[in-house]
């Protein structure tokens, strides 16, 4: 009996050891080694084949965020995925791309959607690199970098074949991945937009590791150490899927212009900090790899616009790439064509698009396709034109970024102004990164609390906040905007200016308003003086210190001004914009100057004095306080998603983004505290603001201001889905003859 128990214990130990090694090292005993390895995808030249037929990838990227949740909450359920898959395929797309391993609901839904479908929806699956590891002081051969990628890749392969029980994190519990969705997985896009410093650091620190010879992938003699790392990762994963499942599929390594394979002119490289390269042409495949490779790039029309910048500098652009459209150089199509011509394998632009956001950060100086500041109609037009440029360049496919908006996202030029731990709980239209989706999430369970459209019905039972001198002000708010209705008997829009002071913070503000505009350094036209220029508004005084002043002055000159002390741009970017230290000579607590609300557009990289004449050596801003006239109701035929206000007779409706009023987290009614008490942006809680109103025809000595209580909604925002015009524009393009 003892011997039997000892044998059983040894067998159990061997089984446990095998399971451990299988999980950690990919060890696998093939009980059917004679089984043929198959692949339903192949590459011939620059064409992708699916089941032997040429296949153009028409895809859409899909994130994992919905309002009220970060991506790592994995909050999207199976039913939502099923509905979205149907909408995506009805749009004419044949593929979706995801970036990382998701919860089991996604794979259950994907299996359910495709299992009885004659024309399936295909999948490109990504393999994510941990942000902390990528941006830390490690080279790419570090076990926590390359080792983690290989281990995660094996996990992903098992999941796609329905053969894994896996925990997404210690806090989220486990998922059972039992559905084999591999018949519809086109391939893998391994990695992310490579951090250029990590690429350069790896190439510098691991110079001797510049080659790799595997069973399926190997490197050419020109390969860099980072490229050898990629070849090793890809080879190990192809080998694992081949041995364990006798299957192969397409493989690509993520890339983007920052690490493209080109050498640019010195000035171009200096301005864009272009110092690293990843060239997948240096990664070759053996005959044993049946599927083949494609080159994957994230390419947007606005940044980095190497060729557009080169053209502005007067440097020669090769004639074959000098595409002119209506007299304008299309540098986006030119760059796409250069990339496609360079590669011997198919090229897929796996991210492209523009956001429909009020705020913006970059602009394509040639065609105007911008990172923000574009209406939903313009976003749709840009999606179509980008797709057409990609196809004219000869690429094998494209994947639009992205399917749904994600409220948790952040943008470099607004992230200092908001609480990054609470971004999923409100819709920030000033942050362009949140609004790339062709599926919008609008506040409200079924509709927004108010639309800027001139329809006064929604205001019928809303109590007045202000009633004075023939003026009435009402207020509504939701997860995106504070919306005001201003009624004035006999109002003559365009001939009579109205003023609405807002007191947001008790820390500062002025009872007197003088409009001034201290020009940024790049607008001073050679003058070194930063002295403010006085504007033209009537002298105003308020019964309370105001922080903002809304000036309603016709279609083209209506604007929101901020008291100089409460100007966020000055507090964060003064050294770049005004060429001075904001904290050496701060404005007085009760400073009377009210200035434009500017947002950073481009941070200067100081590439040298030779660029001064082109305006590329300076910080660029734009006046985000300027208000746009239009109809903001999506159901209206003349809908303008960027509309800030509209007028209907004696009534004005205006919606003000929370971040424009220095709310860092409106879900809990948190606003910016005094910058000069804390040497930066800190938060404080408020329970309401004060609002006033006056006409230039009847300005009181002290404009009365009434209290508007505000209550946050915490971590439970309301929202409803809405398909943007971009969805229908692509549907027409992809489905109509």
The pLDDT of residue 700 is above 80 = no
Percentage of the chain modeled with pLDDT above 70: 89
Identify the pLDDT of residue 579.
Answer: 85
Say how far apart CA 261 and CA 276 lie, in whole Å: 8
Q: Which residues contact 529 (CB under 8 A, 6 or more apart)?
A: none
Mean pLDDT on 664-693: 97
pLDDT at 21: 54
H or E, element range at 689: strand 688-692
Burial category of 254 from C-beta neighbours within 10 Å (exposed 0-12, middle 13-18, buried 19 and up): buried
The β-bridge partners of 514 are: 593
Six-digit token string for 620: 């660029």
**If you ran DSSP here, which 8-state letter would residue 146 be given?**
I
Mean pLDDT of 459-466: 95
Q: Which of 387, 391, 388, 389 is nearest to 400 (CA)?
A: 387
DSSP 3-state percent helix, strand, coil across the chain (nearest 5): 30, 25, 45
Q: Which residues of 24-58 are buried (b: 16+ CB within 10 A; e: fewer)?
A: eebeeeeeeeeeeeebbbbbeebebbbeeeebbbb
Cis peptide bond prior to 530, omega within 30° of 0: no
**What's the average model confidence in pLDDT over 398-407?**
98
Query: Which pLDDT belongs to residue 123?
Result: 98
**Per-residue pLDDT tens digits for 29-61:** 666 677 899 999 999 999 999 999 999 999 999
- pLDDT band for 612, please (50, 70, 90 cuts): low
Asked if the model's pLDDT at residue 12 lies above 90, the reply is no
Q: Which tens digits make up the pLDDT trace of 242-287? A: 999 999 999 999 999 999 999 999 888 988 889 999 999 999 999 9
Nearest C-alpha neighbor of 496 from the set 565, 413, 425, 557: 557
pLDDT digits 0-9 by tens, 466-501: 998 889 999 999 999 999 999 999 999 999 999 999
Residue 633: is its pLDDT beyond 80? yes
Whether 212 and 236 have beta carbons less than 8 Å apart is answered as: no
The mean pLDDT of 216-234, rounded to a whole number, is 98
Task: Grade residue 84 by pLDDT with cuts at 50, 70 and 90.
Answer: very high
C-alpha span between 42 and 285 (Å, rounded): 13
The values of phi and psi at residue 164, to 5°, are -155, 140
* Strand residue runs (E) in 57-94: 57-61
pLDDT at residue 530, as a whole number = 54
Residue 314: the pLDDT is: 86
The per-residue pLDDT for 55 is: 98
CA dist., res. 337 & res. 389, Å (int): 9
| CA dist., res. 466 & res. 323, Å (int) | 57
DSSP string, 635-697: TSTTB-TT--EEEETTEEEEEEETGGGTEEEGGGTEEE--HHHHTS--EEE-SEEEEE-EETT
**Which of 108-112, 325-329, 382-386, 562-566 has the least mean pLDDT?**
325-329
Give the pairing of strands 694-695 and 498-503. Answer: antiparallel
Across the chain, mean pLDDT equals 91
User: Would you tell me how many other CB atoms lie within 10 Å of the CB of residue 478?
Assistant: 22
The yes-or-no verdict on residue 698 having pLDDT over 90 is: no
Residue 621 phi, psi dihedral angles, 5° rounding? -130, 170
Residue 120 has pLDDT above 90, yes or no: yes
What's residue 64's pLDDT? 94
**Going from the N-terminus, what domains does the chain have, and what CATH number goes with each?**
49-428+721-735 (3.20.20.80), 456-715 (no CATH)
pLDDT tier for residue 607 given thresholds of 50, 70 and 90:
low
Does 9 score more than 80 pLDDT? no
């Amino acid at each position: 009996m003892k011997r039997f128990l000892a044998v059983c214990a040894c067998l159990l130990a061997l089984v446990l050891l095998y399971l451990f090694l299988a999980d950690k090292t990919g060890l696998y005993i093939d009980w059917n080694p004679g089984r043929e390895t198959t692949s339903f995808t192949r590459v011939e030249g620059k064409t992708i084949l699916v089941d032997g037929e040429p296949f153009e990838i028409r895809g859409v990227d899909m994130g994992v965020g919905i309002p009220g949740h970060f991506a790592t909450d994995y909050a999207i359920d199976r039913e939502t995925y099923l509905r979205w898959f149907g909408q995506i395929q009805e749009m004419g797309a044949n593929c979706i791309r995801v970036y990382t391993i998701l919860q089991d609901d996604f794979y259950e839904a994907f299996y359910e959607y495709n299992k009885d479908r004659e024309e399936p929806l295909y999948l490109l699956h990504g393999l994510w690199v941990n942000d902390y590891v990528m941006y830390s002081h490690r080279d790419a051969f570090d076990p926590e970098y390359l080792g983690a990628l290989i281990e995660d890749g094996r996990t992903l392969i098992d999941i796609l074949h329905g053969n894994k029980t896996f925990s997404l994190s210690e806090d989220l519990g486990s998922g059972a991945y039992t559905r084999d969705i591999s018949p519809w997985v086109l391939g893998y896009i391994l990695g992310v937009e490579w951090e250029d410093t990590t690429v350069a650091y790896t190439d510098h620190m691991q110079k001797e590791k510049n080659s790799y010879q595997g069973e399926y992938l190997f490197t050419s003699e020109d390969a860099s150490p980072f490229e050898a790392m990629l070849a090793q990762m890809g080879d190990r994963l192809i080998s694992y899927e081949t041995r364990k499942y006798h299957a192969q599929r397409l493989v690509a390594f993520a890339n983007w212009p920052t690490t493209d394979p080109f050498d640019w002119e010195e000035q171009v490289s200096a301005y864009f900090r272009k110092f690293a390269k990843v060239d997948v042409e240096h990664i070759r495949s053996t005959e044993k790899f049946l599927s083949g490779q494609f080159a994957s790039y994230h390419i947007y029309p606005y940044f980095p616009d190497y060729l557009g910048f080169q053209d502005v500098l007067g440097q020669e652009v090769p004639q074959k790439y000098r595409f002119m459209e209506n007299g304008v150089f299309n540098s986006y199509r030119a760059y796409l064509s250069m990339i496609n011509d360079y590669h011997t394998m198919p090229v897929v632009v796996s991210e492209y698009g523009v956001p429909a956001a009020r705020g913006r950060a970059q602009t394509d100086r040639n065609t105007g396709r911008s990172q923000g500041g574009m209406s939903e109609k313009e976003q749709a037009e840009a999606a179509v034109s980008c797709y057409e440029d990609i196809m004219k360049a000869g690429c094998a496919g494209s994947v639009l970024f992205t399917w749904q908006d994600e409220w948790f996202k952040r943008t470099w030029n607004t992230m200092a102004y908001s609480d990054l731990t609470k971004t999923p709980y409100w819709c920030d239209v000033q942050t362009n990164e949140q609004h790339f989706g062709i599926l919008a999430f609008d506040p409200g369970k079924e509709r927004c609390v108010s639309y800027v459209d001139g329809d006064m019905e929604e205001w019928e039972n809303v109590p007045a906040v202000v009633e004075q001198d023939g003026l009435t002000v009402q207020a509504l708010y939701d997860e995106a905007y504070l919306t005001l209705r201003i009624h004035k008997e006999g109002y003559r829009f365009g001939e009579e200016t109205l003023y609405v002071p807002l007191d947001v913070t008790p820390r500062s503000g002025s009872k007197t308003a003088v409009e001034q505009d201290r020009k940024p350094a790049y607008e001073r036209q050679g003058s070194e003086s930063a002295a403010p220029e006085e504007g033209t508004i009537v002298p105003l005084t308020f019964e309370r210190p105001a922080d903002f002043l809304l000036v309603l002055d016709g279609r083209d000159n209506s604007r929101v001004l901020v008291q100089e002390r409460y100007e966020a741009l000055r507090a964060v970017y003064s050294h770049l914009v005004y060429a001075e230290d904001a904290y050496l000579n701060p404005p007085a607590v009760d400073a009377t100057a009210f200035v434009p609300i500017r947002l950073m557009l481009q941070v200067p990289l100081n590439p040298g004095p030779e660029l001064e004449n082109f305006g590329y050596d300076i910080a660029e801003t734009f006046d985000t306080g300027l208000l746009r006239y239009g109809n903001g109701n999506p159901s209206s035929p003349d809908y303008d998603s960027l509309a800030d206000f509209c007028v209907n007779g004696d009534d004005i409706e205006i919606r003000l983004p929370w971040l424009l009023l220095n709310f860092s987290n409106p879900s809990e009614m948190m606003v910016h505290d005094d910058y000069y008490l804390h040497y930066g942006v800190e938060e404080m809680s408020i329970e309401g603001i004060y609002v006033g109103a006056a006409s230039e025809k009847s300005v009181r000595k002290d404009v009365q201001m009434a209290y508007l209580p505000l209550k946050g909604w915490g971590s439970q925002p309301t929202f409803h889905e809405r398909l943007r015009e971009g969805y229908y524009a692509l549907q027409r393009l992809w489905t109509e003859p």
